[in-house]
Structure 1
Amino acid sequence: MADTPYQSVNVQYYNADSTIRFGGTLTLPQNKKNSPAVVLLSGTGMQDRDGTMAGHKTFLVIADYLTRNGIAVLRVDDRGVGETTGKYQEATTADFAKDALTSLRWLSKYKGIDSRNVGLIGHSEGGAAAYMAAAESKDVAFIITLAGLATPGLQALKLQNETIVNTAPISDQKKYRFNSINKFMFDTVYAHADSPDLEVHMRAAYREWQIKDSLYMVANPQDSADKGRFFFPMESYVMNATGPWYRYHIRFDPAPFLKKVDVPFLAINGDKDIMVNADANLNYIKQHTTANKNVTTIKAPGLNHLFQHCKECTNSEPFQLKEDFAPEILKMMTTWIKENTGMR
Structure 2
Amino acid sequence: MPANPIAGVILITGSGPQDRNQLFMGHQTFLVLADYLTRKNIAVLRYDDRGVGQSQGQFDGATSYDFADDASSAIDFLNAQPELHNRLVGIIGHSEGGLIAPIVATQNSKVDFITLLAGPSRSGRFVSENQIKKILLSNGMSKDTSTKGSQITKSLNKSVIQYADLSKDDLKQKLKTVYQTKWQQLDDTSQTQLQRLGGGSLPEPRLKMLVGDWYKAFLTHQPVDYLTKLNIPTLALYGDKDVQVSAEDHAKVMEHALTENGVNLSKVVILPNHNHMFQRSKTGAMTEYQHIEETLSLLTLSSIADWISDLK
TM-score by length of 2: 0.90
Could you tell me which of 204, 209, 212 is aligned with 1:240?
209
How many corresponding residue pairs? 308
Change (3 A) 1:72 1:203: same
2:262 maps to a residue whose letter is N
Q: Secondary structure at the match of 2:174?
A: helix
Q: Could you say which residue in structure 2 is the equivalent of 1:311? A: 282
1:133 maps to a residue whose letter is V
Distance (whole Å) between structure 2 residues aligned to residue 323 and residue 173 of structure 1: 33
Asked if the contact 2:8–2:87 (Cα under 8 Å) also holds between the matched residues in 1, the reply is no
1:265 maps to a residue whose letter is T
Asked if the contact 2:6–2:87 (Cα under 8 Å) also holds between the matched residues in 1, the reply is no
After TM superposition, give the deviation of residue 225 of structure 1 in Å: 8.7
Alignment partner of 1:203 is 2:173? yes
Q: Secondary structure at the match of 2:286?
A: coil
Alignment partner of 1:328 is 2:288? no
Q: Secondary structure at the match of 1:269?
A: strand
Which residues of 2 match residues 138-157 of structure 1 at below 5 A?
A: 138-157=109-128
Q: Could you say which residue in structure 2 is the equivalent of 1:267? A: 236
Change (3 A) 1:51 1:208: closer
Asked if the contact 1:35–1:112 (Cα under 8 Å) also holds between the matched residues in 2, the reply is no
Could you tell me which of 41, 53, 61 is aligned with 2:12?
41
Which residues of 2 match residues 217-256 of structure 1 at below 5 A?
A: 220-222=187-189, 230-256=199-225
Distance (whole Å) between structure 2 residues aligned to residue 269 and residue 305 of structure 1: 8
1:156 maps to a residue whose letter is V
Larger radius of gyration: 1
Change (3 A) 1:223 1:147: closer
Could you tell me which of 34, 37, 46 is aligned with 1:63?
34
1:315 maps to a residue whose letter is M
- Larger strand proportion of the pair: 1
2:132 maps to a residue whose letter is N
2:64 maps to a residue whose letter is T
Deviates more, 1:179-188 or 1:86-95: 179-188
Alignment partner of 1:83 is 2:32? no
In structure 1, stretches of 5+ residues that fail to align are 1-27
Distance (whole Å) between structure 2 residues aligned to residue 101 and residue 145 of structure 1: 16
1:268 maps to a residue whose letter is L
Alignment partner of 1:292 is 2:262? yes
In structure 2, stretches of 5+ residues that fail to align are none
Q: Secondary structure at the match of 1:233?
A: coil
Q: 1:129-153: per-residue Cα shift (whole Å, max 9, x none)? A: 1111111121100000001122111
Structure with the larger RCO, 1 or 2 (CA within 8 Å, 6+ apart): 2
Q: Could you say which residue in structure 1 is the equivalent of 2:96? A: 125
Distance (whole Å) between structure 1 residues aligned to residue 143 and residue 226 of structure 2: 39
Q: Secondary structure at the match of 2:101?
A: helix
2:301 maps to a residue whose letter is L
Q: Could you say which residue in structure 2 is the equivalent of 1:29? A: 2
Q: Could you say which residue in structure 2 is the equivalent of 1:136? A: 107
Asked if the contact 1:49–1:76 (Cα under 8 Å) also holds between the matched residues in 2, the reply is yes
Change (3 A) 1:291 1:184: same
Distance (whole Å) between structure 2 residues aligned to residue 183 and residue 165 of structure 1: 15
After TM superposition, give the deviation of residue 330 of structure 1 in Å: 0.9
Distance (whole Å) between structure 2 residues aligned to residue 235 and residue 92 of structure 1: 20
Q: Could you say which residue in structure 1 is the equivalent of 2:130? A: 159
1:275 maps to a residue whose letter is Q
Change (3 A) 1:273 1:333: same
TM-score by length of 1: 0.82
1:253 maps to a residue whose letter is Q
Deviates more, 1:243-252 or 1:227-236: 227-236
Alignment partner of 1:100 is 2:105? no
Distance (whole Å) between structure 1 residues aligned to residue 268 and residue 218 of structure 2: 23
Asked if the contact 1:160–1:276 (Cα under 8 Å) also holds between the matched residues in 2, the reply is yes
Distance (whole Å) between structure 1 residues aligned to residue 243 and residue 114 of structure 2: 23
Distance (whole Å) between structure 2 residues aligned to residue 71 and residue 208 of structure 1: 50
RMSD across aligned C-alpha pairs, in angstroms? 2.4
